[in-house]
Structure 1
């Protein structure tokens, strides 16, 4: 009985059929890059300072430049150049009082301006950058700056959960169903991130997006390596991951054109939703169908693959369908990873890595 690799060698290891499958999967890999590293632009933290009521009016009345305004109204850097006081502290001064002059307005309040009491930013912040980001919209600076890291940590937790579950789902229900479901949910969750009104909602949706987006990328990787022949498997795996780098380059250009984080998030998510339509036409992996003893369906896909590649179906192709339902279908489980000494060794190595 011929193996799948034997059949692919006869009908085309990387013909027109495989290329038509490979292209949308590479686009999926490229669109995964913004999901993974888009936080760099979505949560960009520009230079900022405390908002002090009355400073803008005083600056306008005195005709100060931005540098002069900062010099008179913002505390200087802390010890050893620490910029924390400058960004996260304000002089506890009522800038609306009429007795403040335009030349060294703090001179009459203290003998040395640096000795004036400083306090936390009670009225928000002023950001010296156009556009908006998650940081500027939800004021994730100073004491709340750790929340920016939490956004990416939730995404990484989602990746970890995906590693535990996506492989089983793809083995149990099929590569195509796993790929289609995770891609659609990834796109929808990305769109939801763009419309969420508060930080907590964004955080939770990003956790979900991390689970499904990594699962989508992994299912695509499995799919493309299973529909090509042995001689091209390494090449397509490298190109699939190289598409991720292309996505990084494109992300920079899109982020430059869309400085508003919500529009950028939509621009990162809508193409994934459109791409999921293509996956309706991506066939199931013949290797998976054979592993499930669904040989007749596998033969139909291999026959279509041969015709698309301009190759005649091999005479022994029909032999794959003769033993359908003779043996029990494979039912993979997590315990299979530890069933033999060799599998246990590889499983523990991969879990450690």
Structure 2
């Protein structure tokens, strides 16, 4: 039997599949805790230079004498604490000094700080304040965030290959152990370089754990439930983002936060006895007895009856059309579509993670913004479930990208001309942009899988995901660019950039063909003609021909010892 036929008889989403899928979703939620954790643990608190010789100097003003002492080294402007120089100490003669329009001394000696004091208003301690990664070294926090997503890129490639070679279950467990060890080690690193290296490993392990677990859960699901299963796991991931905001609010020390988020992986160690190997993978390796054992267990749990003979191990395989991934770049039509898909993957991943990381920089309550950033993903995924089969892949993806982009761009007006009184509106517009990015992220995966021909679908989808990680790596730099630019425009810049690129990607996607209710392309030639009237007519003709089965086709369905008799 064809495996999809087996899942239909087994129950496309029976009790056994639901149990496995629940386990996978629990893991996805824990992985979600680490997806944008860098936005919290690598955040830079408000800070200024520590006053030389003052042992108990703190960011908060302790007395008028303390304030006067600070003024001797760092003359403030009208906003007092918020505009103390964060990176330099000044040495000047108070009787003859002159000031610029920011109340900074002009004729003064300026020296770089060697130590700082930090505000405890939002954080007790972050990685940046622990290792003094500020001022000239501030770029290192963006680099470390990018290293996490570089690890995600590496993990997608390495663990994807391991999953196909060694099996889903072994790869999942290896990723789990690596994730548990590396995430706990992250909390005890002695220096910033060590933190950055281990953070890369955490990124790789998290991607291996999420992807492999997802495959285990989904490969037993029937064909009509796959899109549903592919979207619902994103809800679980978003739950992790929301939980991160709650934990971060109550646990404001980065080490304790990392430990609390890492410990649940220890509970996943029992999955070795709960998660089976994927029967699809076992069949692909011709390990039929093991595959049948898994299916018979599912048969009992689902309380159904499967046929006695699930696999004909001696049946000759029908020759399948072949294709090469390079062929996507040798034909003008396929090249054009592939580049548009690659660009959309890059932009949607950059916007999704960039807006998540940038939510703390929007102003207002830091943790509330992080909470809202995770919460808005729920209506985003719900929109996809409700309208994907109504509006179509292309139309819905373009709407999500363009609407999300326009709302992000609109924040430039509320930030530049509104100020604090329009802070709520700024946050709302940014969250609508995140909603659009989350929905588009869910759509682009399905859209890509349906658009590429079957003969190169896996390799093309894997390449799309890898190219998309370029957006992940770039996201922290764009999100942190606002801090480097400074001022109101600096606050608006990341949203302006995300919005403009989202609109461009959404408009380019209009040049792609729709895949809803279409016979998906099988060969490279199908891929070239896909979306044309010629392709639709040819598929219609083939469908009519298949209603009358040819003798050689019927022979392949018979037992091996009767094929020759039937053919004669």
TM-score by length of 2: 0.52
Q: Does 1:44 align with 2:43?
A: yes
1:6-32: CA deviation from partner (whole Å, max 9, x where unpaired): 111112211211111111211111111
> 1:145: which partner in 2?
138
Instruction: Tell me how far apart the structure 2 counterparts of residues 305 and 344 of structure 1 sit (CA, whole Å).
Output: 31
> 1:315: which partner in 2?
307
Give the drift of 1:268: 1.3
SS for the counterpart of 1:87 is coil
> 2:245: which partner in 1?
252
Instruction: Tell me how far apart the structure 1 counterparts of residues 272 and 83 of structure 2 sit (CA, whole Å).
Output: 50
> 2:266: which partner in 1?
273
Write out aligned runs for 1:193-232 (5 A).
193-232=186-225
Distance 1:86 1:285, change over 3 A: same
> 2:286: which partner in 1?
293
Q: Does 1:347 align with 2:460?
A: yes
Give the drift of 1:344: 5.0
Give the drift of 1:74: 2.0
Instruction: Tell me how far apart the structure 1 counterparts of residues 64 and 327 of structure 2 sit (CA, whole Å).
Output: 76
Give the drift of 1:279: 4.0
Instruction: Tell me how far apart the structure 1 counterparts of residues 49 and 161 of structure 2 sit (CA, whole Å).
Output: 50
- Structure 2, unpaired ranges of 5+: 100-104, 329-452, 469-568
Distance 1:53 1:323, change over 3 A: same
> 1:187: which partner in 2?
180
Give the drift of 1:304: 0.5
Instruction: Tell me how far apart the structure 2 counterparts of residues 168 and 77 of structure 1 sit (CA, whole Å).
Output: 57
1:190-214: CA deviation from partner (whole Å, max 9, x where unpaired): 0011111111111111111111211
> 2:85: which partner in 1?
86
Instruction: Tell me how far apart the structure 2 counterparts of residues 142 and 131 of structure 1 sit (CA, whole Å).
Output: 19
SS for the counterpart of 1:49 is strand
- Structure 1, unpaired ranges of 5+: 94-105, 329-334
1:66-88: CA deviation from partner (whole Å, max 9, x where unpaired): 7666555423469xxxx887111
Q: Does 1:118 align with 2:110?
A: yes
Q: Does 1:338 align with 2:325?
A: yes
Q: Does 1:167 align with 2:128?
A: no
1:143-197: CA deviation from partner (whole Å, max 9, x where unpaired): 0101101111111111111222222111111111111111110111000111111
SS for the counterpart of 1:45 is coil
> 2:24: which partner in 1?
25
Give the drift of 1:347: 2.1
Contact 2:76–2:83 (CA<8 Å) still a contact in 1? no
Q: Which runs of 4+ in 1 moved over 3 A?
A: 54-60, 65-73, 75-78, 110-113, 335-346
RMSD: 3.1
> 1:53: which partner in 2?
52
> 1:102: which partner in 2?
none
Q: Does 1:107 align with 2:94?
A: yes
Q: Which has the higher contact order (CA 8 A, sep 6+)?
A: 1
Instruction: Tell me how far apart the structure 2 counterparts of residues 12 and 282 of structure 1 sit (CA, whole Å).
Output: 18
